[in-house]
Structure 1
Amino acid sequence: MCVGYTNGYEDFESWRLDAALKAMVPGSAVAFDRRALYHFAIFLGWAWPLGDGAKPLPLLCHLSGSPDTKPRASVRLEDVRDVAQGCTVRVYRCHCDAAKRALVVNECLARIGETGYNLVTNNCEHFVRSLIHGQRVSYQTRWTLALPVLQLPRLAIGLSTVVRTVLTARDHRRLQDDIYLGLIDPESQLLMIKPTRGGLNVTVQLATCCTRMFTGANAQAAQQLHHCITCRLIWASAICENCVKTCHKSCETRRLETRMAGFCQCHCCL
């Protein structure tokens, strides 16, 4: 159970946002302290804009709303930094294997654009817990409704805070429409994502190109790399999953023991 007290969590004050981003695990939960309530989301990982040499964006998926969008509330894709907006960030520790976390990431992307927000039965916490461990529950809603006279105002305060945050973010770093982003999921599959309407909708496809098409020649991205035993005497031997399946499919390769930060050095893609 990754969204709770079993594995624990760590809180990062707003000025430690960079440290919070380093602590986040793709396919796991994060929450933002809105003073009244916590706003829950799922961290998807770092996405690289195609071909322009820009730095990667830390993406999250959440059920959220804004009065200036149609629908007002939906599952959407956003930059973590836009959602944080000066809040304390809670990062839940996750020890799930890559396969499970990859399923969470892909399910999140498949549900972008879904509607049906309900404060009591389908809020941001319901969304996150249902995807990560299959239980559609919101403990903070239960606790709030347990003492309605004293605590119901907290729900209204929490909602208004979220709305203000989304409105502020609109002029900050909105996702650009029609720009392809490369996201390497926890199983090192390269997903090509095209956001539209500022992240309210996306199209996703499994990319077959080298990860360096997105990261550039020298930028390091967390991914599964392989040694090419056949080519190592001539060229650098660290290559990505896609190159193993395509331009090096006839080579003898060996998978590195752990996923690591690095870049593909495939000579075919130079």
Structure 2
Amino acid sequence: MFTLKVFISLCVILLTFEDVEVVANDVKNLNGISRATLEEIVLGMSDKIKSLERKVDKLGHLEDKISSLAATVALKSEKIEELEREIKRAAVEENGAKETVSVRAEVNNGENPADRSLTKNKLRGMRQVETVAFSAVMTHAVQHLGDKQTIKFDKVLLNDGSGYVPSTGVFTAPLSGTYLFIYNFGHHGTGETWLELVKNGNVQNAAAVEGHFGGQNLQGGNAAIIRVNQGDTVWVETWQVSDVSAQDTFTTFSGVFLY
């Protein structure tokens, strides 16, 4: 009888809460129940267990379907995201094409040659990013410079676009646009040093220092933002005073493409 009670208890564990309550009430009254009645109870419990097993199988199949559905949803979400990226990419390309057509129209309709040059530069900038910048310094002092003598800044710190040539001291613009040029020079001792910024032989501005004592260390310089066309040349040269000197490391020349 004890073994039978254990078997019934194990069966009860597999039943729903409602069935457990019913069977529990029957188990309390096992004493005095006939063998036929007990067998009927066990058979009833067996049927309920089989019913529960079928429900478990159905739940298992349902779980598989849910997992499959989740995988399908994830796949569709990835496809939707990919489609959205394609739409954004197509929109960017379309806008770029419209802008290119607009700029080409400016090129064809522009009347001012300088404006056409700048517009063509805009068009080229759409195809690739172009950077032009240089910076150079003079590594040795030079003396007895004559009038209109180009200063050669021999040490190149930066030369993006390869426009500056240290052996000549001349910058040739590889790209049309607006540039910033800065030049500085050192002066030691008495006397005067005058330099000027030149584009295609035309003076843009000038700078000067005047020393009154032999031990003076002075520095002068200037800057200019000017329009430059592709192929134009820019350099720094002496001006007005002959037999001047420039001090090393203090004498520099730099330029950068702005837009």
Q: Choose 1 or 2 for highest CA Rg.
A: 2
Larger helix percent: 2
Same-fold call, TM cutoff 0.5: no
TM-score (norm 1): 0.22
TM-score by length of 2: 0.22
